[in-house]
Amino acid sequence: MDFSIPPELQELLRRARNLVETEVYPLEPEFFEKGFNAIEGTLKKVRDKVKAEGMWLPQIARQHGGLGLSLLEHGLFSAEIGRSPLGHYAFNCQAPDSGNMELLIQYANEEQQRKYLEPLLNGDIRSCFGMTEPEYPGSNPVWMGTTAMKDGDAYILNGKKWWTTGGEGAAFCVVMAVTDPEAPPHFRASQILVPTDTPGFIYEAVTPFMGHRGEGWASHSEVRLENCRVPQSNRLGPEGAGFLMAQERLGPGRIHHCMRWVGVCERAFDLMCRRAVERAIAPDRPLASKQFVQGWIAESRAEIDAARLMVLQAAWTMDRYGAKAARDQISLIKFTAANTMMRVVDRALQAHGGLGVTDYTPLATFYRMERAARIYDGTDEVHKLSVARRILRRYAGASGEDA
């Protein structure tokens, strides 16, 4: 396993971090105070600069206008730009658009790519993904109430979705809906492209979370589908393949998330160390002189490095052997990286004292926005149970063979 970074990639990572530090960090104070809409225009200029410097769409193949980075390479890139909550958006590799791009590249027909994929890649529009429902547990994604019933050459959709990230202002939604309730559970649902201006696609609310509502891309939405009629030609991929397509989307997506969380850790760690050496607690006595602060720094450095290597190993395995071979690793990094991030951010926030809970640093935003990391894309508990069961089945099989 070789994690050596070639010189050209090192230079790309250096340029990405420099752009984030010089162009994106300065937008954070206004974003924290006034919200996404206040900085969207300025952020567009940053996106134009990203394009001009050849760093647009790092996760997308060159034939579609991207950098064509491998999963491992994009993981390293993601850790650099993930230092800011606006970093991924600046490079057009933000959730949920990034995963939707990959779905459209793999499954969309020519007309769908022209109408939905091309403007998404260009950054002219945003999208959202409608899967989670308030009446059904996200831990059981094959159980949902939203239906898409055939009527002539159309589907009629009915149901409700929430935690639809970036729904406010999105041009279209990839909706998971049951198209055949009599099929086996994993083959009941399909993915359907629904323009958000379709009659019956009702944008109900921005979901408030952790004392914050958000807006635009930096928000989560509640959407109701009420006799929403779209052509059957809007179906993405084969009928009944919605769950399998979602699983394909989730594997790389989890690695993207985990390396973004490593970036969050690195920003929090940097802020904590700077605070420790700069903050005087008495004349000639910096906060760094306290042993418990030194312990936080040592523990954080060890945990970040361990999480980083685990994620890179998972990306390396998926690049070479596919998602199935990396299945255990993906489960392990999901809860390991999320918990590492929360511990590091919490220590950094504590080291800042009262300043840490204000919006004068990004720590409070990280703490508020990223707590959900232990829930979405599979809760910690689900990942722990699934990986443990697979491990134990292998041991049980080995014991049977020995017997």
Read off the CATH number of the domain in which 83 is found: 1.10.540.10
Same domain, 62 and 144: no
Give a yes or no: residue 120 inside a domain.
Answer: no
Q: Which of 181, 210, 236 is the last residue of a domain?
A: 236
Averaged pLDDT, 88-93: 98
Angle between helices 97-107 and 242-278 (to 10 degrees): 150
Residue 2 lies in a domain: no
Residue 304 neighbours by CB distance under 10 Å: 23
Q: Once rounded to an integer, what is the mean pLDDT over residues 265-288?
A: 96
Give the domain range for residue 379: 244-402
Residue 122 lies in a domain: no
Q: Is residue 38 part of a domain?
A: yes
Considering the domain architecture, whether residues 222 and 97 belong to the same structural domain is answered as no
CA dist list (Å): 160 to 13, 155, 331, 377: 41, 16, 28, 19
User: Which pLDDT belongs to residue 329?
Assistant: 95
Spell out the residues 6+ positions from residue 346 whose beta carbon is closer than 8 angstroms to its own: 367
Same domain for 265 and 364? yes
Query: pLDDT over 90 for what percent of the chain?
Result: 89
Task: Specify if 311 maps to a domain.
Answer: yes
**pLDDT tens digits along 306-351:** 999 999 999 999 999 998 899 999 999 999 999 999 999 999 999 9
H/E run at residue 158: strand 154-165
21 has a pLDDT exceeding 50: yes
Instruction: Report if pTM > 0.95.
Output: no
Within a domain: residue 113? no
Q: What is the C-alpha separation between 263 and 101, in angstroms, rounded?
A: 23
Do 254 and 373 belong together in one domain? yes
pLDDT at 5: 86
pLDDT of residue 268: 98
Residue 116 lies in a domain: no
- Residue ending a domain, choose from 236, 271, 296: 236
- Residue 126: Cβ-neighbour burial (10 angstroms; 0-12, 13-18, 19+): buried
250 in the same domain as 340? yes
Residues 268 and 393 in one domain: yes
Residue 282 included in any domain = yes
Instruction: Say if residue 102 is in the same domain as residue 186.
Output: no
Count CA atoms closer than 13 A to 231's CA, side-chain side.
4
Residues 248 and 392 reside in one and the same domain? yes
Beta strands in 166-297 (DSSP E): 172-178, 189-195, 201-206, 214-215, 218-231, 235-236, 280-282, 285-286
Nearest to 112 by CA among 173, 193, 198: 193
Question: Does the pLDDT of residue 260 top 90, yes or no?
Answer: yes
Q: Are residues 306 and 361 in the same domain?
A: yes
Whether pLDDT at 401 is above 90: no
Between strands 172-178 and 127-130, the pairing is parallel
- Rounded-to-integer distance, Cα 64 and Cα 116, Å: 13
Q: Give per-residue pLDDT as tens, 57-74.
A: 999 999 999 999 999 999
The residue with greater pLDDT, 271 or 377, is 271
111: DSSP letter: H
Per-residue pLDDT, 402: 43
Separation CA 118–CA 112 (nearest Å)? 9
Q: Say which CATH number the domain at 381 has.
A: 1.20.140.10
Residue 135 reports pLDDT greater than 60: yes
Indicate the Cα dihedral angle 59, 65, 67, 69, nearest 10°: 40
User: Bigger pLDDT: 138 or 34?
Assistant: 34
Q: Residue 403: which pLDDT band, with cuts at 50, 70 and 90? A: very low
157 and 190 inside one domain: yes
Cβ density class 342-371: b for 16+ within 10 Å, e for less: bbbbbbbbebbeeebeeeebbbbbbbebbe
Reply yes or no on whether the pLDDT at 251 is more than 80.
no
Q: What is the pLDDT of residue 211?
A: 85
For residues 180 and 133, membership in a common domain is answered with yes
pLDDT tens per residue, range 298-311: 999 999 999 999 99
How many domains is the chain partitioned into structurally? 3
Query: Whole-number mean pLDDT of the chain?
Result: 94
| 378 and 312 share one domain | yes
Domain end: 193, 220, 236, which one?
Answer: 236
Section 168-172 average pLDDT: 97
Residue 12: alpha-carbon gap to chain centroid: 22
Q: What is the CATH number of the domain that holds 213?
A: 2.40.110.10
